[in-house]
Structures are given as C-alpha cells and as structure tokens.
Amino acid sequence: MFTAGFKFFFKLFVVLITAAIVYGYTSGGNHVGPLSVGWKGGVGDHTGYGILLALATVSLVISLALIAFRDADAEAQAELLNVDRIPIPPQRAVKASWWPTVSAFGIGTTVIGLVLHPAIFVLGLATVGLVVVEWTMDAWADRVTGDTKANRMLRNRIMAPIEIPVLGALAVGIVVLAASRILLTVSALGAVLATSVIAVIILAYASVYVAWPELARKFIPELAILACFVLLVGGVLAAIKGEREFHHPESSSDSTLYETDTDDASETHNPIDGNIDENHSGISDTSSVES
C-alpha cells in the first residue's frame, strides 16, 4: 500500500519535523513557538529552525507526490499510458545537441559580465535567451511527429529565418567584446602583437582550408571551443587586472591627431620643430581660409 519511496521520504519528514521542534526548544524557544512556527512564542535559532522546517516540508511534499505516482514504477506509468508494458525510452531518442554547452557558456558570460561590464552581462543574457528559444524548439521538433526528417523540416521552416542572422550577429559581438577587453588590458605593443598573431593564424587556417578543405573542416568545432575558452579565461584575467593606463592629451584639439603615449608625440608640440608645426598650422590655416 505504502510505496518504498513514500516511506523513505515520509520518515525523513518525521525525523526532520521532530528535529526542528527539538532544535527550536533547545536553542531558546519557548511556549508553543516551535510547535506553531513562531506564532505563539519564540523558536530559538531562526536559521536552523527555518531550514529544518523547509526540509521537512519538502520531504512531505515529495513523499505525497511519490505515493500519488506510486513511486513512478514502470507498472504505474504503463497503466497511465494504457499499455501493457512501459516502453523503455529508445537509446538514441535524444539526438546530440550543442545547446546545453552553449547555454553553459552563456551563463559563464553572464557571470563574468555581472562583474566586468554591463555589455558583457547583457550579451550573456542574450545568449541564454537564445539558447532557451533554440532548445525549446529543438525539444518540440524532436517530438512533434514520429518522422525524424519531417521533424527537422518543420523546425527549420520556423527557425532558420530567425537564427541565421541572430547567431551571426551574436558570434561577432562576443568575439569583439571579449577580445577588446583583453586588448585593453595588455600593453599597447602586446595588443599589436596579439592581433598580428591572430591575423596570421586566421590567414594560415584559410590557406589550409583552401589546400585541404576536409581536414580544415574537421577542426572547426575544436578551434571554436578553444577560442571560447581562451576568451573566457582572458576575460576573467582582464577583469581582475583592469585596463592599462591611457595617457590622454590635456588640451588643444590639434593634439588629438597624434598619439600622446609615446615620446614622439611630445615632439609634435615642440615649437622648435618647425616642419611638424608648420604642417599643423598649414592644415588649420587652410581650413580657416576655406571657412
């Protein structure tokens, strides 16, 4: 009559509710406080009492659910489906999907963005939102009919016009934002070197792709995952280190034409150096004449 699952959780409930009451009284409760959830009297330590009470409630609810479901035994579920014997779920009923992994990356981005920058946070949330939509549609399409091909077609008919532009924009956004944080953290020379190396890698990969397309295609996911990890770790490190120091020009609109964080920059303001100054004044003179 009483199922094993019900008995386990109900005993858990009895133990926990007893523990809550005993704990309530022994930690300073009075009157009937621990018996009436603090209605009449104190319950002692509120934290422990409250948590024990919550655990007891949950145990009771689970035990009641399990007895209602008859422990979700195969026989009970078969009866619910009006079949003699419950079908064991097919081995490959659920096809492989990228979305769980992308969702984890989305949550990771949200977490980093919460600390690092609101834009990254929003980007992470957008990724999670995207995953919710895609995952839901995939799950729906998997079960819409018994024909796998038809399911695929139905899904693509609804989703392809939306997902291709959105995914493209999102991928570019993630790369640009995360990479910019890293580049703002490393030194100016380091940033130049890093971008050069990345450019060379992309060029090399493109060359390999042209020469051996099959081989290159095989490594696309591997490289994508590796890049995501590098960006995530780089993002965390960039958050911790912060941006490098930038030297901004103090005044004069002309000076903004030149980088001021190098020694050469100071030379542009040197009145002794006639050529450079002349060029400057020449430009401004011309513009003033034209105006």
Residues in 73-92 at the binding interface with another protein, rule: CB under 8 A? 73-78, 80-81, 83, 85-92
- Taking CB under 8 A as the binding criterion, the range among 49-57, 199-207, 248-256, 262-270 that sits at the site for another protein is 49-57
* Rounded (10°) angle between helices 148-185 and 220-241: 40
Closest CB 287 distance from another protein, rounded Å: 45
Residue from 89, 88, 70 nearest 79 by CA: 70
Among 46, 244, 269, 280, binds another protein (CB under 8 A): 46
Nearer to another protein, 217 or 279 (CB): 217
Residue 3 in the binding site for another protein (CB under 8 A): yes
Nearer to another protein, 72 or 169 (CB): 72
Please compute, for residue 5, the number of CA atoms within 13 A of its CA located in the half-sphere on the CB side.
13
Among 41, 48, 173, 249, binds another protein (CB under 8 A): 48
Nearer to another protein, 105 or 183 (CB): 105
Residue 33 CA to residue 43 CA, distance in Å, equals 5
Closest CB 35 distance from another protein, rounded Å: 17
Residue 53 in the binding site for another protein (CB under 8 A): yes
Helix (H) or strand (E) holding 46: helix 46-68
Residue 4 in the binding site for another protein (CB under 8 A): yes
Closest CB 207 distance from another protein, rounded Å: 22
Please give the torsion angle defined by the CA atoms of residues 141, 147, 153 and 154, in that order, rounded to the nearest 10 degrees. -40
Q: How far is CA 227 from CA 80, 178, 235, 269, in A?
A: 48, 11, 12, 43
Positions in 96-155 near another protein (CB under 8 A): 96-101, 103-105, 107-108, 111-112, 114-116, 132, 135-137, 139-140, 142-147, 150, 153-154
- Taking CB under 8 A as the binding criterion, the range among 58-66, 166-174, 207-215, 257-265 that sits at the site for another protein is 58-66
Taken in order 218, 221, 223, 226, is the CA torsion positive or negative? negative
Residue 269 CA to residue 253 CA, distance in Å, equals 12
Among 17, 35, 41, 58, binds another protein (CB under 8 A): 58
Residue 147 CA to residue 154 CA, distance in Å, equals 11
Nearer to another protein, 47 or 251 (CB): 47
Q: Which residues, 6 or more positions from 39, have their beta carbon under 8 angstroms from its beta carbon?
A: 32, 33
Three-state DSSP state, 93: coil
Nearer to another protein, 143 or 247 (CB): 143
Residue 236 in the binding site for another protein (CB under 8 A): yes
Closest CB 118 distance from another protein, rounded Å: 13
Residue 162 in the binding site for another protein (CB under 8 A): no
Q: How far is CA 11 from CA 14, 35, 49, 97, in A?
A: 5, 19, 18, 40
